[in-house]
A = this chain, B = another copy of it.
Amino acid sequence: MLVVMNARASEAEARAVCEKIRRMGLTPHPMPGEGRTAIGITGNPGPLDPLAFESMPGVLQAIPVTKPYKLVGREIKPDDSVVRVGPEKARLGGGAFSVIAGPCAIESREQALAAARAVKAAGAVLFRGGAYKPRTSPYAFQGLGEEGLEILKEVRAETGLGIVTEAVDPPSMEKVAAVADMVQIGARNMQNYSLLRLAGGCGRPVLLKRGMSATLEELLMAAEYVLSEGNYDVVLCERGVRTFADHTRNTLDLAIVPAVKRLSHLPILVDPSHGTGRREKVEPLALAALAAGADGLLVEVHPDPDAALSDGPQSLAPDAFGELMAKLPKLAAALGRKMAEK
Contact = CB atoms under 8 A, between A and B. Distances in A.
Given A169-B170, A330-B334, A331-B334, A134 B191 contact: yes
Contacts of A195: 169
A216 B225 CA distance: 30
B285 A68 contact: no
Interface in A314-342: 327, 330-331, 333-335
A258 interface: yes
A258 B241 contact: no
B138 A254 contact: no
Nearest to A140: B68
Contacts of A215: 244-247
A31 interface: no
A259 B248 contact: yes
Nearest to A190: B188
A47 interface: no
Interface string A104-141: 00000000000000000000000000000011111100
The contact size tier of chain A is: 35 or more
A136 B254 contact: no
A276 to B, nearest CB: 5
Contact of A136 (B135, B221, B258): B221
A179 interface: no
Contact of A170 (B170, B253, B284, B327): B170
A281 B253 contact: no
Interface stretch (A87-95, A152-160, A286-294, A296-304): A286-294
Contacts of A189: 192
Contacts of A285: 254-255, 258, 292
A19 interface: no
A188 B195 CA distance: 12
Nearest to A133: B193
Given A252-B254, A281-B259, A194 B169 contact: yes
Given A68-B136, A243-B243, A331-B334, 6 more contacts: A169-B195, A188-B191, A212-B213, A255-B285, A284-B293, A290-B291
Q: Considering the complex of A and B, which 4 residue pairs feature the smallest CB-CB distances, nearest first? A: A169-B194, A213-B213, A334-B334, A291-B291
Interface of A: 42-43, 68-70, 134-139, 168-170, 172, 188-189, 191-195, 197, 212-213, 215-218, 221, 224-225, 228, 241-248, 251-259, 262, 275-276, 280-281, 284-285, 287-293, 327, 330-331, 333-335
